[in-house]
Structure 1
Amino acid sequence: MDTEAMAAHKKELRSELRARRAEAYGGPAGTAHRARESRLLLERAAALIAHVEATLTAAPAQPVLVAAYHPTPTEADVMPLARHLAELGAHLIFPVAAGRELDWVSWDGSSPFLDSPGRGFGKEPSGSRLGPGALAAAALVLAPAVAVDRSGTRIGHGAGYYDRALTAVRADAAVVAVVHPGELLEAGTLPREEHDVPIPAVLTADALVSLVTIDGSWAPRPAIRS
């Protein structure tokens, strides 16, 4: 499939997946369903929480950096987990719109978020920007996605922000995409291009899942097992 055909295929898939998400999580009933799942998602993240706690204990003088994101109204709600990690003492950073690259801003666990000028972004914390390189120090990255398949292929919102950002993440960091249960798809469902960064783990309201590739050609980063 050539580049133009691949882009068209991804655009069609993205539209289909977003439509399913809007149907399941839009409106009052969908909002209530999402809120229930957000509580379950926090429970399923027990291994991630334990990982952060252990890292904090091992090096109490060193900041433990966790990258999260403020979800759009129908994305999986990672905010209860982000608040909990901040309460434990982790240093939370959130992405902010900054042209072609993601920039990052610290969040203290309680300050309000502001509307983002970026298309497809959730809200943003206010404060000084840390620069795109801030992600390189993260011990845990909670990444948004439209969907992920069990071969580790992630499809995002189409701008390539996270594919570019994740190339800077250190090798021992835990990278976890957060999606709704129905958005973890069968292996090989999503097309992968050379620039698409594979995802080693997925967190949903059902489970924390470590992923492997179909053909073994990709060695995943260390994943936190539930």
Structure 2
Amino acid sequence: MSRGAQPHPVVLDGDEIEDVKDRWREAVRETRRQRSPRARQEAARALAAVVRGIPAVADARCVACYAARPGEPDTVPLLEALAARGVRVLLPVLGTNLRRDWAEYQGAEDLRERAPGRPPEPSGPSLGPAALADADVVLAPALAVDSRGSRLGQGGGWYDRVLADARPGVPVIALVHDEEVYDATVHPVPVQPHDRGVDAVATPSGWRPLGQEGATVDGEVDGNGDGEGEGTGGR
């Protein structure tokens, strides 16, 4: 996985963890805002190729993913590739009070921002929160991930709640930019007891299992396909 300038806020002794999380989110979002449209398109194509090569994804009949918001690694090339392979793809649908729900992906042209601030959603019928139990792998958004598998989300806690509906043992893989993966011994992602970790991370340059639970994802492949992924520090 490639290295680059890594966004990281200043953390002071005595800072409240929610304040640290908020400053970290803003640092990552600012870096994402500086990425050019061309760079985002190139990253999206590379990320799709990486994720498709993960054994858990390659073997999956049903994948839970998401339609990216502006600034997030674009997932449309990945969604299209999965659908073209005949994979059933589930996307989040947000109800009132962040109600958990899912609907099937029906093509990029079907995705719409149904309400301000919400990610693009499919128009098909809602399947209910229990639909996540059909997924063989969950591809989750994140702002940052560290080498222990800690994940920093957008702040709404949606995925922390929704992952309880996944089947036991189903791998959860975060999708981020290269520089958003942190060495937990240097810059651990701030977490609270309710935060759910991830089993692996994928970036445009490669993927790797994380933490003790990373063994649930078969094997490890970096961007060069040689099985020797770089460490996460400094990216």
- Tell me whether the two structures share a fold, i.e. TM-score over 0.5: yes
What per-residue deviation string (whole Å, max 9, x for no partner) do you get for residues 101-153 of structure 1? 3211111345521113263x321110110111211221011111111111111
- Taking only the aligned residue pairs, the percentage that are identical comes to 33
Runs of 4+ in 1 over 3 A off after TM superposition: 50-55, 218-221
Report the equivalent of 1:149: 146
Gaps of 5+ in 1: 56-63, 213-217
Structure 1 contact 53–88 (Cα < 8 Å) conserved: no
What per-residue deviation string (whole Å, max 9, x for no partner) do you get for residues 40-67 of structure 1? 112222433x544545xxxxxxxx2211
2 CA distance for matches of 1:37 and 1:179? 10
What per-residue deviation string (whole Å, max 9, x for no partner) do you get for residues 68-124 of structure 1? 1111121101221111111111111111111233211111345521113263x3211
Structure 2 contact 52–58 (Cα < 8 Å) conserved: no
Structure 2 contact 129–165 (Cα < 8 Å) conserved: no
Gaps of 5+ in 2: 1-14, 222-235
The two structures have a TM-score, normalised by structure 1, of: 0.82
* RMSD, aligned CA: 2.1
**Higher relative contact order structure (alpha carbons within 8 Å, sequence separation ≥ 6):** 2
Report the equivalent of 1:106: 104
Q: Are residues 16 and 112 of structure 1, via their aligned partners in 2, closer, same or farther at CA, if it must alter by over 3 Å? A: same
Match of 2:45 among 39, 45, 62: 39
Question: Is 1:190 the counterpart of 2:189 in the alignment?
Answer: yes
Letter in 1 for 2:23: E
Q: Are residues 52 and 20 of structure 1, via their aligned partners in 2, closer, same or farther at CA, if it must alter by over 3 Å? A: closer
2 CA distance for matches of 1:123 and 1:132? 18
Q: Are residues 80 and 189 of structure 1, via their aligned partners in 2, closer, same or farther at CA, if it must alter by over 3 Å? A: same
Larger mean CA deviation between 148-157 and 185-194 belongs to 185-194
**3-state SS of 1:164 partner:** helix
Structure 2 matches for 1:54-203, cutoff 5 A?
A: 54-55=59-60, 64-98=61-95, 99-109=97-107, 111-117=109-115, 119=117, 121-187=118-184, 188-203=187-202
Q: Are residues 118 and 110 of structure 1, via their aligned partners in 2, closer, same or farther at CA, if it must alter by over 3 Å? A: closer
Structure 1 contact 174–221 (Cα < 8 Å) conserved: no
**3-state SS of 1:197 partner:** coil
Q: Are residues 88 and 18 of structure 1, via their aligned partners in 2, closer, same or farther at CA, if it must alter by over 3 Å? A: same
Match of 2:27 among 9, 16, 32: 16
**3-state SS of 1:75 partner:** coil
**3-state SS of 1:15 partner:** helix
The two structures have a TM-score, normalised by structure 2, of: 0.80
Q: Are residues 110 and 22 of structure 1, via their aligned partners in 2, closer, same or farther at CA, if it must alter by over 3 Å? A: closer
